[in-house]
Amino acid sequence: MRISFILSSLWLSGGVRVIVEYANRLTARGHQIALVVPGDTLDPDMLNEMDTRVSVRQTRLARGPRSNVLQMIRLMWSLARAVPPSDVIVSTHTPTTAASLLAGRLLRRGRLVWLYQDYREMFIGRPYEDWLMRHALRWHKCALTVSDYSRRELTTYSPGKVIVVGEGLSHPELFHPLSDESYHHASSQKTILFLGDMRPRKGLPDFLQAANLIYERLRDIKLLIVSKEDCQIESSVPFEYIYRPTRVELARLYATCDLFVSASWWESFGLPPLEAMACGAPVVLTDSGGVREYARHEENCLMGPARDPAALAGAMWRVLNDPTLARRLAANGPPTAARFTWDRAVDRFEAAIADLVKPNSQMTSVHADSVSGL
């Protein structure tokens, strides 16, 4: 099949990595894949992760300010025109649903599918995107989501066909516990790993505040803060800032930390805590929605409310001071992560698309429980 994905950008992010994984694996299965992106948004790191057979089609028009509605309309038209004739056109971010409408309905380039990885809070104060989120399902044949949390959210906006396809753990050959545990005994200092950026909803200020509460009682800790962006960090707690580590470096950080913490307010899935689990790190996270796909409180993580630094600090303190709890969470992480494979996710994605292009196909909304193994 000819499948075209419309992206808001090809900059490094968790959502873009999901699309690249789907593109690469669908290409390996013999499909013809195109990624359609604004012309000024190519990230060399993402291009290096892509199968060379995946076609990247850039618009001549660059992205403009979100507040400029006219510029946004022109960009959507430019993206629509860049879509090649396709069996299926996939919107990958709420703003691109407008481009898919133009490409599919006006230019008749293909059937429309929405790969929904967003959440309503992402577009607070952005009425254009908020309107699209609430209405775009009406002009798509179906929507595919990465979690049941997203499925339930999307179906509250308007009726339509929604299927959970999920996502998988990339590079399982890298993301696993290390066989040599001596690294934990080289120093008495406890290391706490955080991965995120400066957007408030990623919870970095909440994490720093929680870490400071820990530091008042436990001085022998060090923070490891990983980001894809240049972050301006101020903290009384000793920390090391790590900018864009390689996958190999990130896997080792997960596997050698004493605690991994995610303080995100909202996620459609939330991959970093699952990667940390795969590497045998004890995990503390906030209930950001999509993490419910794999997070089980007191079993493979400690989960608490978002935007509550005191509660976050309490969970961190428990893990750092209870070796039995830490070992239990660490031991239950790898079996959890092993259930989330890209082969299974692509199987579900491919089946949904294949069903869509069948003549007179009748697709129905699917609950995550019916696709066991997510």
**CATH class of the structural domain 181-338:** alpha beta
Residues 6+ apart with CB under 8 A from 209: 309, 313
Among 3.40.50.720, 3.40.50.2000, 3.10.580.10, 3.40.640.10, name the CATH number for the domain at 2-168+341-370: 3.40.50.2000
pLDDT at site 111: 96
Q: How many CA atoms lie within 13 A of 78 on its CB side?
A: 20
Instruction: State how far the alpha carbon of 264 is from the alpha carbons of 134, 204, 269, 290, 335, in Å.
Output: 23, 8, 11, 11, 23
The rounded distance, in Å, linking the Cα atoms of 23 and 355 is 18
pLDDT at site 184: 53
Query: What three-state secondary structure class fits 64?
Result: coil
Q: Which amino acid is at 216?
A: E
- Other Cβ atoms within 10 Å of 97 Cβ, number: 25
- 370 burial (CB, 10 Å; 0-12 / 13-18 / 19+) is exposed
pTM: 0.91
- 234 burial (CB, 10 Å; 0-12 / 13-18 / 19+) is exposed
Residues 77 and 100 sit within 8 Å (Cβ to Cβ): no
Could you tell me the residue ranges of all domains in the chain? 2-168+341-370, 181-338
Strand partners, 115: 144
Residues 6+ apart with CB under 8 A from 219: none
pLDDT in tens, the chain (374 residues): 999 999 999 999 999 999 999 999 999 999 999 999 998 889 999 999 999 999 999 998 777 666 677 888 899 999 999 999 999 999 999 999 999 999 999 999 999 999 999 999 999 988 989 999 999 999 999 999 999 999 999 999 888 899 999 999 999 999 999 986 555 545 689 999 999 999 999 999 999 999 999 999 999 999 999 999 888 899 999 999 999 999 999 999 999 999 999 999 999 999 999 999 999 999 999 999 999 999 999 999 999 999 999 999 999 999 999 999 999 999 999 999 999 999 999 999 999 999 877 765 444 333 333 333 34
Residues 325 and 308 sit within 8 Å (Cβ to Cβ): no
Q: Do domains 2-168+341-370 and 181-338 have the same CATH topology?
A: yes
